[in-house]
Structure 1
Amino acid sequence: MPVPAGLGRFLVLVTVFLCAACGLVYELELVALTASLTGDPVTLTSVVLAVMVFAMGIGSLLAKRLRRRAAAGFGAVEAGLALVGGCSAMALYACFAWLDQPRPALVGCSLAIGVLVGAEVPLLMVLIQRVRRQDAGRAVADLFAADYVGALAGGLAFPFLLLPALGQVTGALVTGAVNAAVGGALVLWLFRRDLTVRARWTLLVANVLVLAVLATGTALTAPFERAARRAVYGADVRVAVHTGRQELVLTGGGRAGRPLALYADGRLRASARDEYRYHEALVHPAMAGPHRRVLVLGGDGLAAREVLRYADVRSVTVVDPDPGLVRLARDDAGLAALNARALRDPRVRVVTGDPFGRLRHTGPAGYDVVVSDLPGPTARDGAAPYSREFYGLALRAVAPGGRLAVHAGSPAARGAYWTVEATVRAAGWRTLPYALGRTAS
Structure 2
Amino acid sequence: MTTKKENGAQWILLIAVFCIATCGLIYELVAGTLASYLLGDSVTQFSTIIGTYLFAMGIGSFFSKYFNNDILKWFIKIEILIGLIGGFSSATLFLLFPLVVSFRLVLYVMVLITGVLVGLEIPLLMRILKDKIEFKDLVSKVFSFDYIGALLASLIFPLILVPHLGLIRTSLFFGIINIAVGWYLAHYFTAQIKQAGLIKAIAILALLVEVVAFVFSDNIMSYSESLTYRDNVVYATSSPYQRIVITKNKRELRLHLNGNLQFSSADEYRYHEALVHPALSSVTDLKNVLVLGGGDGLAVREILKYPSVEKIQLVDLDAVMTKLFSTQEILVKLNEGSLSNKKVTVKNEDAFLWLTNCKQKYDAVVVDFPDPSNFSIGKLYSTMFYDLLKKVINPGGVAVIQSTSPYVAPKSFWCINNTIRAAGFFTMPYHNYVPSFGEWGYIIASADSDRHWFVNYPAGLKFLNPAVMQQMFVFPQDMQYNKPVPANKLNNQVLVGYFEEEWDKYLD
399-408 or 344-353: which moved more?
Answer: 399-408
Structure 2 SS opposite 1:270? strand
How far, CA to CA, are the matches of 1:277 and 1:164 in structure 2?
A: 33
Residue of structure 2 equivalent to 1:33? 34
Q: In structure 2, do the counterparts of structure 1 residues 10 and 162 end up closer, same or farther at CA, with 3 Å as the change threshold? A: same
The one-letter amino acid paired with 2:220 is: F
How far, CA to CA, are the matches of 1:164 and 1:37 in structure 2?
A: 17
How far, CA to CA, are the matches of 1:258 and 1:236 in structure 2?
A: 12
Q: Give 1:187 shift.
A: 4.1
* Structure 1 residues not aligned, in runs of 5+: none
Residue of structure 1 equivalent to 2:127? 126
Residue of structure 1 equivalent to 2:106? 105
| Cα pair 2:43 2:374 within 8 Å, conserved | no
The one-letter amino acid paired with 1:309 is: K
| Cα pair 2:253 2:264 within 8 Å, conserved | yes
Residue of structure 2 equivalent to 1:281? 274
Residue of structure 2 equivalent to 1:139? 138
How far, CA to CA, are the matches of 2:131 and 2:72 in structure 1?
A: 10
| Cα pair 2:183 2:204 within 8 Å, conserved | no
Residue of structure 1 equivalent to 2:155? 156
Residue of structure 2 equivalent to 1:400? 395
What are the equivalent positions in structure 2 for 1:313-324 lying under 5 Å apart? 313-324=309-320
How far, CA to CA, are the matches of 1:309 and 1:3 in structure 2?
A: 77
Q: Give 1:227 shift.
A: 1.8
Q: Give 1:107 shift.
A: 0.5
Q: Give 1:235 shift.
A: 4.4
What are the equivalent positions in structure 2 for 1:56-75 lying under 5 Å apart? 56-75=57-76
Q: Give 1:175 shift.
A: 0.9
Deviations 1:387-433 (A, max 9, x none): 22211111111112322211110012022212212222222222222
Deviations 1:377-396 (A, max 9, x none): 22594322122221111111
| Cα pair 1:47 1:107 within 8 Å, conserved | no
Determine if the alignment matches structure 1 residue 431 to structure 2 residue 430: no
Structure 1: which 4+ aligned runs deviate by more than 6 Å? none
What is the aligned-residue RMSD (CA, Å)? 1.9
Structure 2 SS opposite 1:99? coil
How far, CA to CA, are the matches of 2:375 and 2:254 in structure 1?
A: 20
Q: TM-score normalised to the size of structure 1?
A: 0.93
Residue of structure 1 equivalent to 2:287? 292
Determine if the alignment matches structure 1 residue 390 to structure 2 residue 388: no
Correspondent of 2:243 among 242, 247, 251: 247
Q: Give 1:309 shift.
A: 1.0
Deviations 1:271-309 (A, max 9, x none): 112211111121112211143111101211011111111
Q: Give 1:247 shift.
A: 2.0
How far, CA to CA, are the matches of 2:153 and 2:206 in structure 1?
A: 21
Q: In structure 2, do the counterparts of structure 1 residues 7 and 427 end up closer, same or farther at CA, with 3 Å as the change threshold? A: farther
Correspondent of 1:358 among 336, 354, 360: 354
How far, CA to CA, are the matches of 1:164 and 1:61 in structure 2?
A: 37
The one-letter amino acid paired with 1:258 is: R
The one-letter amino acid paired with 2:333 is: A
Determine if the alignment matches structure 1 residue 306 to structure 2 residue 302: yes
Structure 1 SS opposite 2:405? coil
Residue of structure 2 equivalent to 1:223? 219
65-74 or 87-96: which moved more?
Answer: 65-74
The one-letter amino acid paired with 2:400 is: A
* Structure 2 residues not aligned, in runs of 5+: 434-438, 443-508
| Cα pair 2:317 2:350 within 8 Å, conserved | yes
| Cα pair 2:370 2:377 within 8 Å, conserved | no
How far, CA to CA, are the matches of 2:418 and 2:68 in structure 1?
A: 59
Q: TM-score normalised to the size of structure 2?
A: 0.81
Determine if the alignment matches structure 1 residue 325 to structure 2 residue 337: no
Correspondent of 2:191 among 190, 193, 206: 193
How far, CA to CA, are the matches of 1:341 and 1:182 in structure 2?
A: 51
The one-letter amino acid paired with 1:89 is: S
* Number of residue equivalences: 432
Residue of structure 2 equivalent to 1:173? 172
Q: Give 1:67 shift.
A: 3.8
153-162 or 85-94: which moved more?
Answer: 153-162
The one-letter amino acid paired with 1:368 is: D
The one-letter amino acid paired with 2:317 is: P
How far, CA to CA, are the matches of 2:40 and 2:302 in structure 1?
A: 28
Residue of structure 1 equivalent to 2:232? 236
Deviations 1:355-393 (A, max 9, x none): 112111111x52111111111222594322122221111
Correspondent of 1:339 among 335, 340, 355: 335
Correspondent of 1:203 among 199, 205, 226: 199
Structure 1 SS opposite 2:307? coil
Q: Which has the higher helix share?
A: 1
Q: In structure 2, do the counterparts of structure 1 residues 100 and 268 end up closer, same or farther at CA, with 3 Å as the change threshold? A: farther
| Cα pair 2:382 2:419 within 8 Å, conserved | yes
Structure 1 SS opposite 2:347? strand
| Cα pair 1:260 1:334 within 8 Å, conserved | no
| Cα pair 1:41 1:380 within 8 Å, conserved | yes
Q: In structure 2, do the counterparts of structure 1 residues 152 and 277 end up closer, same or farther at CA, with 3 Å as the change threshold? A: same
Deviations 1:86-138 (A, max 9, x none): 00000110111333643122111100111011101111111222333x0x343
| Cα pair 1:67 1:126 within 8 Å, conserved | no
How far, CA to CA, are the matches of 2:286 and 2:109 in structure 1?
A: 54
| Cα pair 1:167 1:244 within 8 Å, conserved | no
Q: Give 1:440 shift.
A: 0.7
What are the equivalent positions in structure 2 for 1:358-377 lying under 5 Å apart? 358-363=354-359, 366-377=361-372
| Cα pair 1:95 1:101 within 8 Å, conserved | no
Deviations 1:122-176 (A, max 9, x none): 11111222333x0x34322221121111111111111111111111101110110
How far, CA to CA, are the matches of 2:3 and 2:431 in structure 1?
A: 74
Residue of structure 2 equivalent to 1:270? 263
How far, CA to CA, are the matches of 1:96 and 1:24 in structure 2?
A: 23
229-238 or 73-82: which moved more?
Answer: 229-238
